[in-house]
Structure 1
Amino acid sequence: MNISTIGPFSLVNKSLQDLAQHPDAEIFKSIVMNSSLRERETLVRLWLTEGIPYAFKSSAATYDEMRRWLAARLRVHSKDVTLVGSARIGFSMKPTVFGRAFGKTSDLDLTIVNQDLFNACQADAEKFSFDFSESQIIPRSETQKRNWEDSVRRLPSMIKMGFIDTYLYPGNENYSVVKGIKDTMWRLTERLKKTPDVPAPTKVTARVYRDWDALIERISFNLASAQKELSTAPSISTHGRSLEPAIHA
C-alpha cells in the first residue's frame, strides 16, 4: 500500500471546529445559515443529539441516572434515550422564537431511538386510528375530536419518516405501549420537580424514532427549513441570546 495516497480528513466549515458545545444563539444561527447538508448532519449528531445537554450542564450525572431509569422502564438501552430541542442546545430553534433561552420550567423534548419500541408504538397508533374510524373510541369534546382527526391524518407521514409522536395518542389500556410511555413521562416530570439542581419542566413529551438515520434526517430537514425561513427574519437581542420573530422549523 502506498501511504502517500492516503489523504487527511477535510473540514469544509472551520466554524464547526470552534463551536462551543452550548453556543450563543447568534453564532449558531450564522453557522446554520451557511451550512451544507453534510454540515447540518454534523450539527445534528454532535450538538443536537449527543453530549451533555444544556439543561443538565451542572448535573450531568443526574442526567445519566435519568436516562438509566427511563431505559429500564421502556426496556431500551440508556444510549437510546436523549434530549433534543432547547433543553439540548440552550435556546429554541423554532424560527418564530429562535434564540429564546431555555428556562427551568421549559418543556423537555425526549427522543427514544429504538426499532422495537417504534414498531410497538406504530401498532398502537394504527390500532387507535382504526378504533377511531370505527367509532370504537369516542372523543369527549369537539376539540379532542379535531385533535384525534389530525393525529390520524398525520400518522402515515410520520411512519414514512420513521417516528411516532406518542403524545398525540390516548394513553388507555387499549394502547398499552403508548400508555406506558405517557405514564413514564408524567412520572419523570414529577421526579424532576423533586430533584435539586435540575430542570422542573411543566411537561415532558416523547418522540420515538425507528433508527438514528431517521432522527438525523428529520432534524437536518428542520434545520434546512429554519435556514430558509430565518433568512427573512430580523434579529432581536434578549438577555444575551438572540430572539428571531417569525417562522417554525
Structure 2
Amino acid sequence: MDPEEFRALIAACDPEKFCEEQLFQKKSWLFEDSGLDEISSTYEEFRQAIGVATGVDPADIRLVGSSRFGFSMNPKPAKRFRPFNDESDLDVLIVSEQLFSEIWAQFRHAYYNGYAWVKERHGGDIFRRFLYLLREDRYNTSYLRQAAKRMDEMTKEVLLQTGISRTLKYRIYANWTDAVSYHAHGIRKLQRDLQNVAQ
C-alpha cells in the first residue's frame, strides 16, 4: 500500500471498525512486509517477549502506528502519514485490566502521599483510560519503581529475543473498548484534517 492509498483508506473508513478490523489485527507491516534487515524474528515472537516481561497474554499485545501499516497515524502535520524510517519507534498497545488497575492504584497512592506531579502528568492519560510509565527515577513508591523496571526489562527482553534495537513506546489499556475509543478518536482527527486540507 502506498501513502495515497493509505490516506484514502483512512479518509473513507468508519474509525471504530477500522480499529477492530484493521489496526488491531494480529498483523504487522514491520514484521511481514518491511523487508528490513534488523527484523530477525516473527511478530508472534515479538509479542511473546513482551508477554513474558509483563505477564500479559500475547493475544492482548499489538503494534500500532507506523510499524503496523508502514505509515504514521499521528495526526500532527509533521508526522501525519510519514513512512516508517530509521528514527521510527515502536508503539506497543497492551490490554490488561489487572496491570492497569495495579498501576492506577499506585498512582493514587503516590498522589495521596504528596507526589502531586503524578496527577498532573498522568491525569489526562487516566481520563482516556490508558497508562504510560515514564522512564525516570521520580517514582517514589516501590510498586511504581517495580512497574517502571518491569517495562525496562520488557525492552531488554524484546531486544534479546528479537534483535530489534528501537525505542518502545507503550500504552496500557484496561480493556479493548478503551483502546478502540482512544485510537478511533485519533482517526477521526486525521479525517477532519484531511477534509480541511481538501477544502
Establish whether TM, by shorter chain, passes 0.5: yes
- 1:102 maps to which residue? 84
- 2:147 maps to which residue? 178
* TM-score of the pair, normalised by structure 2: 0.80
The offset of 1:223, in angstroms, is 0.5
CA deviation map 1:204-236 (0-9, x unaligned): 1221000000001110011111111232337xx
Report SS of the residue matched to 1:231. helix
Matched, 1:163 2:130: yes
Task: Report the AA paired with residue 171 of structure 2.
Answer: R
Residue 171 of structure 2: which of 203, 207, 212 is its match? Answer: 207
Task: Report the AA paired with residue 34 of structure 1.
Answer: A
Task: Report the AA paired with residue 6 of structure 2.
Answer: F
- Residues 1:47 and 1:184: Cα distance change in structure 2 (over 3 Å): farther
Matched, 1:88 2:53: no
Report SS of the residue matched to 1:207. strand
Give unpaired runs (5+ residues) of structure 1.
Answer: 1-22, 135-148, 235-249
**8 Å contact from structure 2 (residues 94, 171) kept in 1:** yes
For 1:128 and 1:233, the matched residues in 2 are separated by: 44
- 2:36 maps to which residue? none
The offset of 1:164, in angstroms, is 0.6
**8 Å contact from structure 1 (residues 188, 204) kept in 2:** no
For 2:114 and 2:90, the matched residues in 1 are separated by: 29
- Residues 1:212 and 1:177: Cα distance change in structure 2 (over 3 Å): farther
**8 Å contact from structure 1 (residues 53, 89) kept in 2:** yes
The offset of 1:118, in angstroms, is 0.7
Q: Report 1 or 2 for greater relative contact order, CA contacts < 8 Å, sequence distance ≥ 6.
A: 2
Count, aligned residues = 189
For 1:55 and 1:105, the matched residues in 2 are separated by: 14
The offset of 1:73, in angstroms, is 1.9
- 2:183 maps to which residue? 219
Report SS of the residue matched to 1:27. helix
Report SS of the residue matched to 2:105. helix
CA deviation map 1:3-53 (0-9, x unaligned): xxxxxxxxxxxxxxxxxxxx3322222232233xxx211211222121221
- 2:22 maps to which residue? 47
For 1:108 and 1:188, the matched residues in 2 are separated by: 15
- Residues 1:131 and 1:88: Cα distance change in structure 2 (over 3 Å): farther
Give unpaired runs (5+ residues) of structure 2.
Answer: 34-38
Residue 8 of structure 2: which of 12, 24, 30 is its match? Answer: 30
Residue 98 of structure 2: which of 116, 126, 141 is its match? Answer: 116
The offset of 1:159, in angstroms, is 2.2
CA deviation map 1:137-163 (0-9, x unaligned): xxxxxxxxxxxx4x5225333223221
Q: Percentage identity across aligned positions?
A: 23
1:121-136 aligned within 5 A = 121-131=103-113, 133=115
> Which protein shows a greater Rg?
1
**8 Å contact from structure 2 (residues 90, 168) kept in 1:** yes
